[in-house]
Structure 1
Amino acid sequence: MIPRPHSVRLEPGTVAGSPVDSRIDPELPPEGYLLDLSPEGVVLRAGSDAGLFYGRQTLAQLGPPAPCGRIEDAPRFGWRGVLLDVARHFMPVPDVLRFVDLIALHKLNVLHLHLTDDQGWRIEVPGWPRLTSVGAWRSSTMLGSRVHGLFDGRPHGGFYTTADLRRIVAYAAQRHVTVVPEVDMPGHMQAAIAAYPALGNGFDGPVRTGWGVSHHVLNLSEETLAFCRRVLDHVCDIFPSEVIGIGGDECPTDEWPGGRELQVAFTARMAEHLAARGRRVYGWDEILAGGAPAGAVVAAWRGTEPAAAAIRAGHQVVCCPDVRLYLDYRQSDDPGEPTPVGTLLTLEDVYTYEPPDSPLVLGAQANIWTEHMESLRRVEYMAFPRLCALAEMVWGPAGRDFADFAARLPRHLERLDALGVNYRPLAGPRPDDARPDAPGHPRDLADRLAELHRMTADLRGEPE
C-alpha cells in the first residue's frame, strides 16, 4: 500500500464481501482511521469524513480479496501538498479534475494552484476583462531551457471562469483536497501588465513568451493596490482556503525608485486586507526578508535554509526545497529524459527528504512547474512515481526504508497502469519520452547549492 499505513497486522484468511461498517469515532485523530478485517466483514472507524475516505482508499488497495487483520493509520503532517502550475501551460478543467483524483488516491490533501505568472493569467476577474482577453494568451512559447532561445511560433492560452474554479474547488473538497490559490504579486506580473499597462512602470509590451523572471513588475500606486485587493477579494469569494497565496518571490526592484522595503510594505498591506476577510497570507520564502506579516505561512523553496529561518521567526512553514521536491527537475542523467533541467532529483531523493522537526512545520509539498510540460501526459511523466514517494514521506512515519518502498512500488504502478497514468517507467525513459525539439540545461548540485546560498543572503542580513 502507498502510502504505507503506520501499523499493519495481517492474519490468515480473507474478508467476506459484505458491506463496510463505517462510523465516525471522535477518539481517533481527525484524518486517522482504523480498519478491522475479518471473515465476517470490514469495520472502518475514523476521526472524520476525511479519515473514512483514506480508510476506503487503503481498503481498495488491499483487494479484493482483502486479507484479514487490523490496520491503524493517521498522517504525520496536516499539509500534504502539490503545486500545479497552470500559468505557464494552461490545463483544461477535466485534466485538473483527473489530477485531483490522482493526488487524492495518494492521500495528498492540498492542491496549490499557481494561477498567474509572466507567461499567462488564468483567472477571470469581474470588471477587468483584458486580464483574460489579453493576459491569458501569448503569441509563442519557448521550447526547452531559456539558454537555447528556441520558440514554437504557436499562440497558447486559456483561462478559468469563476464557474470552472468553483467546480474544481467542489470536486476537490469531495475528495478532501483543499485548493490553495496563488496570484503572484508584485512580481511575476507581466501578463497582467500586458493587459493593463497602467499597472506597470512604463512597459507596454506583450505577455512574456520566454521563461525566466520578468523585470516588469507592479508599480505599487494606490490604484494598483486597489486592483490587487479586488483580485484577492474575488479569489476569496471562490476559494474557501484559510490561506491565500500571493507569491512574493523573484521580484526585481530595478523599476522602482525605492528598494526591497517597498515589497515588505506591499506584502503587509495585502496581508492586512486578507486578514479582514478572515484569511492568511501564503507566500514564498522571499517574504521573510525584512519581516513577513504576522500569521503568514511560508513556502520554503530556496534550499533548506529558509525553513529554518521561518521557524526562527515564528512562522508556520510548508517545506518545498527545490533540490528535493521540484518535480520539473530531471529524474536521471539518461539523455532520453525530456527537457532535462535543474539538478538530478531521483525517486530516492524525494523519498528520503525529511522536513525540520518543529511544530511550526505544517508539512511539505512537491512543486510541478510546467514550463516544459505542455500537457497532462507530460505532467504525469514528471510527477509519478516521485509523487508516490512524496505521499509516503508526508504521511509518515519519520523512519522509512526506501528499499521496502521500492519493493512495494511495482504493485502500485500496476494500479496506475489500470488508471492510464503516464508515469515514468522505473527502467528509464521510453524513446518517445525524449524532447529533442526542446533541449534542456542540467545543473550540477554543488553549483545550485552555492547559488541558493547567494540567493538567501537576505535571510542572513547580508547584501544580496
Structure 2
Amino acid sequence: MKKKTAFTMALLLWLNALNALNGFAQEKPGFNVDNLELSREILSRNYKGSEQTLSVFTLRIKGKQSFPASGWTIYFNTRPMSVGGADSLLFNIEQVNGDLFKLRPKKGFTAIKAGGSKTITVLSTEIKNKTDLSLGFYLVWDSAASKAYAIKHKNINPVKLFEETETKLSADIYRQNQLIKNLPNSQLTRIFPTPVSYKENQGIFKLAPSVSIVADQEFSKEAGLFADELSHMLGKRPVFKGNAEKNVVRIQKGELNGAEAYELSVTPERILITAAGPAGAFYGLQSLKTLFPVLSWKGVQKEIAVPAVTVEDAPRFGFRGIMMDVGRNFQPKKQVLKTLDVMALCKMNVLHFHLNEDEGWRLEIPGLPELTAIGGHRGHTLDEKDHLMPSFGSGPYPDVNSGSGFYTRAEFIEILKYAHARHIRVIPEIETPGHARAAVRSMDARYNRLMKEGKKEAAEQYLLSDKQDKSEYRSVQGWNDNIMNVALPSTYAFLEKVVDEMRAMYTEAGAPLQTIHFGGDEVPAGVWEKSPAVNELLKKDPSIDGVDELWYYYFKRVNAMLKKKQLYLSGWEEIGLRKAMVNRQKKMVLDTRFAGENFHADVWNNLKGNEDLAYKLANAGYKVVLTCVTNLYLDLAVNPAFDEPGQYWGGYIGIEKPYQFIPFNLFKNPKDGANGEAMTQQASAGKTMLTEVGKSNIVGIQGPLWSEIITSAERFEYMMLPKLFAVAERGWATDPAWATEADGLKSNKMYQQAWSEFMNTMAKRELPRIDHYAGGYNYRIPTPGTLVENGMVHANVEYPGMVIRYTTDGSMPTVNSKVYTGPLAAKGTLQFRVFNALGRPGKAATVTTVAIKSLPKN
C-alpha cells in the first residue's frame, strides 16, 4: 500500500510538471505578438451603392517566425462587421456582445510566413468619420485563452476617400466664417454670460495685494473662495475688514428678485456686490472675474485693472447644466473638479453626473464591492468574473485603459463639497432599467460568490437578473443582457441600497440632494417577455396589462421609494411616455399618469417627427429640462470632416447650434434639423405649441457630453469647449431680440450682429482666459475655411483674432510658419492652420492647386 501511494504521488508530480511545461509552452506558443501588425484600408464608403463600407484588413508579419494557421482569436471593438467575398471561406467575424467582435481563422486558412502578409476583405456599416473606425485590437491564443496581447494597429490614410467632401466642406466653412465680423474690443460686453443690464463707466479700480474684503456673514464662504483665488493671482491673500470704505471689495445683502440675482458696481474707489442670497453673491464674483484682463491667471500680478461698470443681472433658467458621462469612459476626480471650475465661471449650476452604463459602474457603494471591482474595470475576459469585457477600444489590459476607474466614497464626497461651494448641484444618475449591464453583471458576480459560500438568501438579496429568463433582445448599442429585471423584489432592494448610501455621502458632504436621476431610456423590444419572474408577477397583479405596462409598474415603485426619502424622480423623456399601437405600429406616446408627480424629464428627442415632444410633456405637467439633440449634444462632431471626432447620428453641432437655440419657440430656431437645415413653417404645421402652463414647466437646459469616444481628459475638454459657452449663454441670458422679432429679414440681420458679438467675446476674451484658468483647457481650435476662387486661394477663421499660418510646400504649418494676411497665388499643396494666443494649433486645411494664376498687378 505504501509503495502504491509513493508511486501514485510520483506519477502526480510528473504529470504536474508536464502540465506546467505544456502551460509554459502554450503561454509562449512560438510567435511573438509584437511582430504582428494589423492595418485597415477603406476601399469604398458606399460599396455597390449600399450604405456599407468595403475595407481590407492586412495582417503583416515581421521577425523570423511564421504566424500560425489556427489556434488564435483576434478581438476588437467595431461597428457591425462581417467578412466579405471569398475571404469568408477563410475567416469569420462574429459579435461577442456590445461592440466587441472577434476574428477567427477557418480550416482553409494557412500560416503566414515570416515577412509575409494576408489581406481580409470586410464589410461594415458606413464610415463617415474617424469615430467609426475599429479599435482595441488584441490577440488571444486558444491554448492560453485567459491571456491577451495587444496588437499594433493603424489605418491607412482613410482621409483620401473624403478629399472631395473635405474641399466642399472647407468652402462652406469659409462662407459661414464670412458672416462673422471682426469687432473692436470696445464694442464687446465685458461680462459673460450676457447680463440683463450692463453699463460701462469712467475709470478703473486697481485690484492690488493691499485690497480689503468686506462681506456680510451670510456671504463669508463665497468671499473666502474669492480671497483664495486672489491669493494666487496677487501673491497675497486680501485682508478681511469690517469698516473699509476705499480699496475694498464689499459683498452685501440686498432685496433683489431671485436667490441667484446680483448687482455689481465698480468705481475707482471700490467694488460693490449686492445679492439676494449666497448664490447671487457667488455669481457677482464670477462676473467680476470676467472683467479682469484675460492674462490675470497667467502668473502673479502686481495689480489687476478692473473697468468701472454698473450691472444688474439674474439668470433666465434655474437649471443650467452639463451632463457628464463617466460610465462609458472614465474621467478621474481631477477632471471632474476642473469641469466644475469652468462651469462655475460660466454660472452653470447643475452637474448631471452619469455614473453608470452598460460599460461601467463608477461609484463605490459600501456593502456592494463587486460594483466597482467588476463593473469599474474593463479588459480581456472569458467569463467577466473579474471585470467587464472591453468596449470602445479600451483594449485587453484592465488596469491601463480609459474604461477602468471609479470614485471612492471619499473622492465622491470631495466632489460634492467642491461643487456645493460653487453653487453647483450634483444630480447623480443611476441608469435603469436599461443601460445597466455593469450593474447586472456585477450583481451576478456577487450572486455567484455568495452561492459558493452557501449563502443563498444573501446571494439573491440584490440580484438584478432572472436566472431563468430566456428573453431575446438586442439594445441599440448591441447588448443582449443589459436590462434589470423589474419583476424581481431584489432589483428594488438594490436600488434602495444604492440610494441610501448616496444619501449618506451627500449628508456627510453637507451638499443638497433633491433628486436622483433613474435614466429610463432605450429599453429594447423583447425584454422580459420570456422571464418566469415577470410571468409570475403578471399572474399575481392583474393591474399590469402585459409586459409593456411593466414600465409604469417600475417607475411607480421607484417614485414611491424616492418620495419616502423626500426626493423627486428625474429621468430621460421615456419616464413620461408609454408604448401604444399607432397605425398598427407600436410607438412611444405621451403618458399623463405621472404628470402630477413632479417628474423631471430630460427631453433629448427633437428629431423629425418628435420636434414638439418637449412641449407635449411640459404642457401635460411634467417638469422639462431641454436637452435637445440637434442643438445641445456636446459629443456630436462639429462638422462632417473625417478627422473631426464625435458622433453624428443627431447631426453636427458646432458652437453656433447651441447659441441659436430658442427654448420657448423651437420651431423658430434658425437651423434646427439634424443636418442643419432651416426649420420651415410647414415643418411646424400640426405640431404642439408651448402653452403658458407648459412654459412654466420648462425648468432649464443642459448640454450632454456622452463619452463613447472620450478616452482622455484632452478629448473631453476638446468636445466640451467652447460649445459649453454657448449653452451657458442660452441658459443664463434673456431671450435675445432676434429670437422674438417677427420680421424674418430684421431677425436675421439682428441675429448676425449678435452672433458676431458673441463670437468676438468668446474668442477674444473667454478662450484666452481659460488658456490659464484652472490650469488651462484643451478647447477646440477651429479648422480654417478655405476657398479657391478666380485662381486665388482664400482662407479665414471662425474665431476672430486667432492667427492663420500656412505653408506652400505641403508641410504642416508650425508656429513659425508665415502668417496668412490675404489671398495667395500659388500652385501645389497649401496647408493652413489656426493658432491660438499660446501658439497651440488646430487641425490643418489642405488645398491642392494646379497652375494657379499669379496675383494680378495693381
Whether TM-score is above 0.5 comes out as: yes
* Identity across the alignment (%): 33
Offset of 1:141 from its aligned partner? 4.1
Cα distance change, pair 104–117 in 1 and its aligned pair in 2 (3 A): same
Alignment partners' CA distance in 1, 2:639 and 2:256: 45
Mark the runs of 5 or more structure 2 residues left unpaired by the alignment: 1-190, 208-246, 293-303, 380-388, 445-462, 470-474, 507-511, 530-545, 579-590, 665-689, 738-753, 785-832, 835-839, 844-858
Mark the runs of 5 or more structure 1 residues left unpaired by the alignment: 144-149, 205-209, 435-464
Offset of 1:381 from its aligned partner? 0.3
- The code of the aligned residue for 1:14 comes to I
Alignment partners' CA distance in 1, 2:502 and 2:442: 19
Offset of 1:203 from its aligned partner? 9.1
Alignment partners' CA distance in 2, 1:174 and 1:203: 48
Q: Is the 8 A contact 2:350 2:426 kept in 1?
A: yes
**Structure 2 residue aligned with 1:333, among 640, 645, 650?**
640
Alignment partners' CA distance in 2, 1:77 and 1:361: 8
Offset of 1:136 from its aligned partner? 1.2
Offset of 1:154 from its aligned partner? 3.8
Alignment partners' CA distance in 2, 1:366 and 1:99: 13
Matched, 1:407 2:757: no
**Structure 2 residue aligned with 1:317, among 624, 633, 644?**
624
- The code of the aligned residue for 2:781 comes to P
Alignment partners' CA distance in 1, 2:468 and 2:438: 11
Alignment partners' CA distance in 2, 1:354 and 1:222: 44
Deviations, residues 261-319 of structure 1 (Å, cap 9, x unaligned)? 10211011101100100000001001111336311111111114331121122011100
Deviations, residues 156-186 of structure 1 (Å, cap 9, x unaligned)? 3111122211111110000110000000111
Alignment partners' CA distance in 2, 1:268 and 1:215: 26
Alignment partners' CA distance in 2, 1:151 and 1:20: 50
Q: So what's the TM-score if we normalise by structure 1?
A: 0.86
- The code of the aligned residue for 1:224 comes to T
Q: Is the 8 A contact 1:32 1:46 kept in 2?
A: yes
Q: Is the 8 A contact 1:2 1:106 kept in 2?
A: yes
Cα distance change, pair 151–36 in 1 and its aligned pair in 2 (3 A): closer
Deviations, residues 93-119 of structure 1 (Å, cap 9, x unaligned)? 111111111111110000000001100
Q: Tell which deviates more after alignment, 214-223 or 282-291.
A: 214-223
Offset of 1:16 from its aligned partner? 4.2
Q: Tell which deviates more after alignment, 250-259 or 320-329.
A: 250-259
Alignment partners' CA distance in 1, 2:659 and 2:558: 36
Cα distance change, pair 151–24 in 1 and its aligned pair in 2 (3 A): closer
Alignment partners' CA distance in 2, 1:299 and 1:340: 20
- The code of the aligned residue for 2:429 comes to E
Offset of 1:427 from its aligned partner? 3.9
Matched positions, count? 423
Matched, 1:226 2:493: yes
CA RMSD of aligned residues (A): 2.2
Cα distance change, pair 238–260 in 1 and its aligned pair in 2 (3 A): farther
In structure 2, the residue matched to 1:180 is 427
Alignment partners' CA distance in 1, 2:634 and 2:478: 19
> How do 1:137-286 and structure 2 match up within 5 A?
137-139=377-379, 141-143=390-392, 152-155=395-398, 156-197=403-444, 198-202=463-467, 212=477, 214-216=479-481, 217-220=483-486, 221-239=488-506, 240-257=512-529, 258-286=546-574
Cα distance change, pair 363–267 in 1 and its aligned pair in 2 (3 A): same
> How do 1:111-130 and structure 2 match up within 5 A?
111-130=351-370
Deviations, residues 212-241 of structure 1 (Å, cap 9, x unaligned)? 253421112112221122112222332432
Deviations, residues 72-105 of structure 1 (Å, cap 9, x unaligned)? 1110000000000011111111111111111111
The structure, 1 or 2, with the larger RCO (C-alpha pairs under 8 Å, 6+ apart) is 1
Matched, 1:44 2:284: no
In structure 1, the residue matched to 2:538 is none
**Structure 2 residue aligned with 1:425, among 781, 790, 797?**
781
In structure 2, the residue matched to 1:346 is 654
Alignment partners' CA distance in 2, 1:211 and 1:176: 36
Q: So what's the TM-score if we normalise by structure 2?
A: 0.47
Cα distance change, pair 187–284 in 1 and its aligned pair in 2 (3 A): same
The SS at the match of 2:432 is: coil
Q: Is the 8 A contact 1:199 1:224 kept in 2?
A: yes
Q: Is the 8 A contact 2:378 2:391 kept in 1?
A: no
Alignment partners' CA distance in 2, 1:53 and 1:213: 45
In structure 1, the residue matched to 2:253 is 24
In structure 1, the residue matched to 2:193 is 3
Alignment partners' CA distance in 2, 1:30 and 1:191: 40
In structure 1, the residue matched to 2:598 is 295
The SS at the match of 2:602 is: strand
Q: Is the 8 A contact 1:36 1:70 kept in 2?
A: yes
Cα distance change, pair 339–4 in 1 and its aligned pair in 2 (3 A): closer
Cα distance change, pair 404–91 in 1 and its aligned pair in 2 (3 A): same
Deviations, residues 33-57 of structure 1 (Å, cap 9, x unaligned)? 1111112211110111111111111
Alignment partners' CA distance in 1, 2:342 and 2:315: 18
In structure 2, the residue matched to 1:460 is none
Deviations, residues 136-163 of structure 1 (Å, cap 9, x unaligned)? 11225444xxxxxx66334331111222
Deviations, residues 349-370 of structure 1 (Å, cap 9, x unaligned)? 1101122361111100000001
Alignment partners' CA distance in 1, 2:425 and 2:663: 21
In structure 2, the residue matched to 1:95 is 335
In structure 1, the residue matched to 2:718 is 381
Q: Tell which deviates more after alignment, 345-354 or 132-141.
A: 132-141
In structure 1, the residue matched to 2:231 is none
Q: Is the 8 A contact 1:186 1:218 kept in 2?
A: yes
- The code of the aligned residue for 2:520 comes to G
Cα distance change, pair 211–254 in 1 and its aligned pair in 2 (3 A): closer
Alignment partners' CA distance in 1, 2:394 and 2:291: 47
Q: Tell which deviates more after alignment, 180-189 or 4-13.
A: 4-13
- The code of the aligned residue for 1:277 comes to K
Offset of 1:28 from its aligned partner? 4.0
The SS at the match of 1:269 is: helix
Q: Is the 8 A contact 1:281 1:295 kept in 2?
A: yes
- The code of the aligned residue for 1:313 comes to A
Q: Is the 8 A contact 1:193 1:203 kept in 2?
A: no
Q: Is the 8 A contact 1:215 1:255 kept in 2?
A: no
Alignment partners' CA distance in 1, 2:468 and 2:435: 14
Q: Is the 8 A contact 1:338 1:433 kept in 2?
A: no
Matched, 1:82 2:354: no
The SS at the match of 1:328 is: coil
Question: Considering only CA atoms, is the larger Rg found in Structure 1 or Structure 2?
Answer: 2
Q: Is the 8 A contact 1:336 1:433 kept in 2?
A: no
